[in-house]
Amino acid sequence: MNRGRQRARSVLLAWLALGAAAFVLLPWYFPQNLSLLKSLPGVFGGSETASALVHALQHGRPWLWLGLAGLLLCAVAWRMAAGRPQGWTLVAGSLLGLLGVVGGGFTIGATGWSFAILNTLFGELPQGQFGIGLGGALVLLALLMLLGAGIARLGYFRGDFFIAGAVVLCSAMLILFVAMPVGKSLLGAFLNEDGAFSPAALGERLGHERVWGLGCLAGGVRCGVAWNTLFLGLLTATGTTFLGTLIALYAERGNRRLNKPLNVLALLPIITPPFVVGLGLILLFGRAGLVNQFLEYAFGITPTRWFYGLFGVWLAQMFAFTPIAFMIMRGVVQGISPSLEEAAQTLRASRVRTFMTVTLPLLKPGLANAFLVGFIESMADFGNPIVVGGQYAVLSTDIFFAIVGAQYDQGRAASLALILTGFALTVFFIQQRVLGRTSYTTVSGKGDAGVAMPLPDGVRRLCLGVAGPWLAFTLVVYLFAFIGGFVQTWGRDYTPTLKHFITAFDLQWGEHGLIWAGTAWNSLFTTLKLAAIAAPICSALGLLISWLLARTQFAGQKAFEFSALLAFAIPGTVLGVSYILAFNVPPFELTGTGLIIVLCFVFRNLPVGVRAGTASFKQLDKSLDEASTMLRASTGTTLRRIVLPLLKPALVAALVYSFVRSMTTVSAVIFLVTAENELATTYIIGRVGNGDYGVALAYCTVLIVLMSLATALIQFLVGERKLGRRKTSA
């Protein structure tokens, strides 16, 4: 017990020391035109680079003293004995500090008070403040962790500092980087054209025939965009879950020798920029595509635009999102205990009956998670509908045109985004209702060296008969897109050439050394750097949130989970605009920086890590955690030494998906890039807009190769989950 109390005192002291050092020794505000290293020498003097202590003493910003007062009160708590009085003191001190830092940040802007009523009450301020920088961010982190420690001392979260701090920190991050920007953007749905609050304006926008019209059922041309989006989402989610499950079953239980080729083919769409799939499909099925040319040559059928519309968008989304379902389902299939199947067969159940009554029910968490992710991905997808949607309008494209069109209508865009959120919330509750509180634990602390049951012949033939042609078709689509970068002009001049690669990635040797002469190098280096920063943060945060959801019960847990999934329910364009609106002014002034792109990457891709981790945690027996705790291991040690090694499939899925999506995302960051932070996808879109498809496809080819190498490296470094099972000879 003394050892545990000493550890707790050391943790409190460490957070107090971090907060105090950040308050005194680091720049408090975000430097406007200086890097962190260049701003450090001015910590004790410069008006823009000074620490909070110097700002409060010399530069007329007394409100910053509240942050220090909160830390000092927490220091008083550190001297107290463990118990509820210490907890209340920690909570009071941390809330006081947070009120001073966050409350002051939102109420005091660059020119003074942010609200006119404060000017009336307290008079004008002589000066304002900039956005919070590194010093302010670290003080906020320390105060949040001290708040978690105080809550734990009050008896919540089993008195565990780590769990309480993780819940507080994750909740704060979800509020700050998901709920607040999205809420600020969606608030426009309740405002009229004059900016006044008007529920009638919301009703008028939501009740428009273009949103909910059913003209297509009565012989009309089209239905409303809400029905179009809902139907497409259900169709895509069903198809991707079905295909992803078949591929995962065949990869793990079919022919083990085909495991790696199947993994490579299934992951091709996920490591490719989204417009490559659309372009490859257009080369095949477009008006000038090979299929239409063949039909005209062989049967005299005049080429049409039949591919553009619902079928084209659905097919493109199937290519794009089936790999996500496969990655989720593969980890779930790996976690099914062979001993359960062996027990059923010992009781003389056939392989078919065992599969239907044992194996398939244990896949329910993965199936539900894959369906939910596929549905939300389909609703939020922007790239595929804009490329091959034709006249088939969906909510994401309508939101985009409402924002960037000739008539800027933020209110209409926000109203449509509300509908998307409602759809996602409905599916989320249905999923929770279906799964309920049923246990799907298959990995326990007991020995399990059984051999996984081979697939029944009928199931194996179904997997091979459906997944095989699909994967072959995938290969064909990518082959055409790959060839497009090596010919002069697709459709006119098929002469082989490397000029497109030279234009983008030329290297020259000058008098001062190597010159990166290609026009694409800057965007590639920037994208690699930002994606490499975002991927581990996203995967770690996603698995931490999934662990909290699976192993901890606390008030507001459902809202906490939905907040983690909310980024998928919002189209990327709306999320990007939300970030601009939320982080363009103090206290978090990030617009135009690489940091805002990293944050967008992290929270846009966070739901996949959460869902993959949640599906895997449902299979891990809680006794593993409890055994480690009984041996007096801390919660952090239990996570690192016991739980994390069993979550390697989910960790790989989160790392790979976060990295490649950061490399290939378009809609979420198209409003956030600047000349200094140009990304690969925006460079490619610019080339496509100029009609330079050769350079665009050449760049896409390089991205595919790079992301394939990165995926292989991640899998090699993380490794596979070891469950001590024998391998079949197949």
DSSP letter for each residue of 673-686: --STT--HHHHHHH
C-beta separation of 596 from 676 below 8 A: no
Q: What is the mean pLDDT of residues 35-54?
A: 78
With a pLDDT cut of 90, the percent of the chain lying above it is 15
Region of poorest pLDDT, from 104-118, 335-349, 428-442, 476-490: 428-442
pLDDT the model gives residue 66: 92
28 vs 80: CA distance, rounded Å: 30
Under 8 Å between Cβ of 144 and 601: no
Q: Which amino acid is at 398?
A: D
Q: What is the pLDDT of residue 651?
A: 72
Supply the mean pLDDT for the chain: 80
CATH class of domain segment(s) 500-718: mainly alpha
Which sequence spans correspond to the domains of the chain?
2-154, 228-438+459-495, 500-718
Tokens of 15: 């957070």
Mean pLDDT of 434-445: 50
Buried b (16+ CB within 10 A) or exposed e, 148-162: bbbbbbbebbebbbb
Structure confidence at residue 184 (pLDDT): 82
Candidates 3.40.190.80, 3.60.21.10, 2.40.50.140, 1.10.3720.10; correct CATH number of 228-438+459-495?
A: 1.10.3720.10
* CA dist 643 → 4, 114, 611, 616 (Å): 21, 47, 16, 10
Angle between helices 572-582 and 410-435 (to 10 degrees): 120
Residues 264-293: b if buried by 16+ CB within 10 A, e if exposed:
ebbbbbbbbbbbbbbbbbbbbbbeebeebe
Of 607, 601, 606, 577, nearest to 662 (Cα)?
601
What's the rounded Cα separation, in Å, for the pair 269 and 277? Answer: 7
The pLDDT tens digits of the residues spanning 468-477 come to: 888 888 888 7
CA dist., res. 510 & res. 105, Å (int): 50
Q: Say if residues 343 and 662 touch (Cβ distance below 8 Å).
A: no
DSSP 83: S
pLDDT tens digits, one per residue of 453-504: 778 888 888 888 887 888 888 888 788 778 878 888 765 677 888 888 898 8
Q: Smallest Cα–Cα separation from 626: which of 532, 551, 557?
A: 551
Least confident of 73-77, 529-533, 643-647: 643-647
Question: CA 92, CA 85: separation in Å to the nearest integer?
Answer: 11
φ, ψ of residue 488 to 5 degrees: the values are -60, -60
Which tens digit of pLDDT belongs to each residue from 581-614? Answer: 788 888 888 888 889 999 999 998 888 778 777 7
Dihedral of CA atoms 320, 323, 324, 325 in degrees, nearest 10, equals 120
- Total residue length of the chain: 730
CA–CA dist 610, 607 (Å, integer) = 5
More confident residue, 689 or 314: 314
Tokens of 418: 């509300």
For the record, the structure tokens of 282 come out as 């257009």
All residues at 6 or more sequence positions from 41 whose CB lies less than 8 Å from its CB, including other chains: 49
Averaging pLDDT over each range in 165-179, 188-202, 240-254, 413-427, which range is the top one? 165-179
3-state secondary structure of 356: helix
DSSP lists the bridge partners of residue 191 as 197
Number of neighbours of residue 689 by Cβ within 10 angstroms: 9
Average pLDDT rounded to a whole number, residues 20-44? 80
Query: Which residues contact residue 23 at a Cβ distance below 8 angstroms, ignoring those fewer than 6 apart?
Result: 51, 52, 53, 67, 68, 71, 135, 139
Q: Same CATH topology for 228-438+459-495 and 500-718?
A: yes
Instruction: Point out which residues pair with 108 in neighbouring strands.
Output: 113
- The residue whose two tokens read 């980024």 is 567
Region 708-729 average pLDDT: 62
Is pLDDT larger for residue 523 or for residue 372? 523
**Residue 151 or 400, more confident:** 151
453 near 253, Cβ under 8 Å? yes
724 vs 455: CA distance, rounded Å = 21
Closest CA to 374 of 611, 149, 606, 542: 611
CB 80 within 8 A of CB 86: yes
Residues whose CB falls within 8 Å of the CB of residue 77, separated by 6 or more in sequence, listed in order: 12, 86, 89, 90, 93, 150
Backbone φ/ψ region at 451: left (φ over 0), alpha (ψ -120 to 50), beta: beta
Q: What is the phi/psi pair of residue 193, to 5°?
A: -65, -20
Cα torsion 460, 465, 471, 475: sign: positive
**300 pLDDT above the threshold of 80:** no
Segment 403-419 shows an average pLDDT of 74
Q: What pLDDT does residue 34 have?
A: 63
Q: What is the pLDDT of residue 562?
A: 77
Reported confidence tier of residue 447, pLDDT bands at 50, 70, 90: very low
Between 316 and 274, residue with greater pLDDT: 316
Whole-model pTM over 0.75: yes
Task: Name the residue with tokens 């202590």.
Answer: 53
Give the pLDDT of residue 473.
83
| 437 has pLDDT over 60 | no
Instruction: Tell me: pLDDT of 378 over 80.
Output: yes
Secondary structure (3-state) at 468: helix
**Region 273-291 average pLDDT:** 74
Q: Which two tokens stand for residue 561?
A: 């989970």
- 2-27: per-residue pLDDT in tens? 666 788 889 999 999 999 999 999 98
Mean pLDDT calculated for residue range 209-219: 73
Give the contacts of 685 (CB within 8 A, at least 6 positions apart): 275, 666, 670
Structure tokens at 691: 């009609």
Identify whether the C-beta of residue 309 lies closer than 8 Å to the C-beta of residue 390.
Answer: yes
**How far is C-alpha 707 from the geometric centre of its chain's CA atoms?**
17
720 pLDDT higher than 60: no
Q: Where are the alpha helices (DSSP H) in 382-493?
A: 383-388, 395-404, 410-435, 457-483
- Is the pLDDT assigned to residue 382 strictly greater than 50? yes
Most confident listed range (125-129, 213-217, 487-491): 125-129
pLDDT tens-digit readout, 612-670: 777 677 666 666 666 776 776 767 677 777 777 777 666 777 777 788 888 888 777 87
Q: Please report, in angstroms and rounded to a whole number, the separation of the first and last CA atoms in the chain.
A: 53
pLDDT for the residue numbered 439: 46
Average pLDDT rounded to a whole number, residues 126-150: 90
Higher pLDDT, 660 or 101: 101
CA pair distance 235, 232, nearest whole angstrom:
5
The pLDDT of residue 440 is above 50 = no
Pairwise CA distance, residues 691 & 693, whole Å = 6
Which of 130-139, 192-201, 603-612 bottoms out in mean pLDDT, i.e. has the lowest?
Answer: 192-201
pLDDT at residue 343 is higher than 50: yes
The CA distance from 603 to 563, in Å, is 10
Q: What mean pLDDT do residues 141-146 have?
A: 95
94 — pLDDT class (breaks 50, 70, 90): very high
Side-chain half-sphere exposure of 296, counting CA atoms within 13 A: 12
User: Does residue 454 have a cis bond before it (omega within 30 degrees)?
Assistant: no
Name the most confidently modeled range: 330-334, 381-385, 415-419, 531-535.
531-535
pLDDT bucket at 729, cuts 50 / 70 / 90: very low
Q: Give pLDDT, residue 90.
A: 95
